[in-house]
């Protein structure tokens, strides 16, 4: 298992998605609806991606690959990776991450829609 670290921006996005999903869940239950909203589903997918990264960053479902448009915050010579939250979805979400700063640590750099 890897220990997670977060950039301030990535943590803010994660917390905002979580807050929106909780609000949507509460509103849905008040209305007696069973079907989850899009934001609930998105947060569930982001949550699952983060957990897969912690246990196995090379998990095939993540489709992890190098991403060279972002600089590593710890060492510019080290790689940044992109993991899929969604696939075959318009404006699909991605998690950008790197190893470090210490061994057995992963830093979440960003959670965003694919450009």
Query: According to the model, what pLDDT value does residue 95 have?
Result: 97
Report the candidate in 105, 44, 109, 101 with the shortest Cα–Cα distance to residue 83.
Answer: 109
Contacts of 63-67 with CB under 8 Å at 24 or more apart are 63/87, 67/96
**H-type alpha helices, 31-95:** 38-55
pLDDT digits (tens, 9 = 90+) for 14-52: 999 999 999 999 999 999 998 999 999 999 999 999 999
| Residue 108: band (very low, low, confident or very high) from pLDDT cuts 50, 70, 90 | very high
Query: According to the model, what pLDDT value does residue 88 have?
Result: 85
Report the candidate in 59, 41, 54, 110 with the shortest Cα–Cα distance to residue 82.
Answer: 110
pLDDT digits (tens, 9 = 90+) for 81-106: 999 999 888 889 999 999 999 999 99
Question: DSSP 3-state assignment of 61?
Answer: helix
Domains of the chain: 3-113 (3.30.2310.20)
């Amino acid at each position: 298992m890897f220990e997670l670290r977060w950039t301030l921006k990535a943590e803010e996005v994660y917390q905002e998605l979580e807050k929106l999903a909780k609000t949507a869940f509460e509103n849905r239950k008040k209305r007696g609806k069973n079907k989850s909203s899009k934001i609930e589903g998105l947060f569930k997918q982001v949550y699952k991606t983060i957990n897969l990264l912690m246990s196995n960053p090379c998990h095939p479902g993540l489709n992890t690959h190098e991403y060279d448009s972002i600089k590593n915050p710890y060492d510019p010579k080290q790689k940044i990776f992109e993991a899929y939250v969604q696939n075959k979805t318009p404006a699909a979400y991605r998690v950008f991450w790197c190893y470090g700063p210490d061994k057995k640590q992963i830093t979440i750099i960003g959670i965003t829609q694919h450009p």
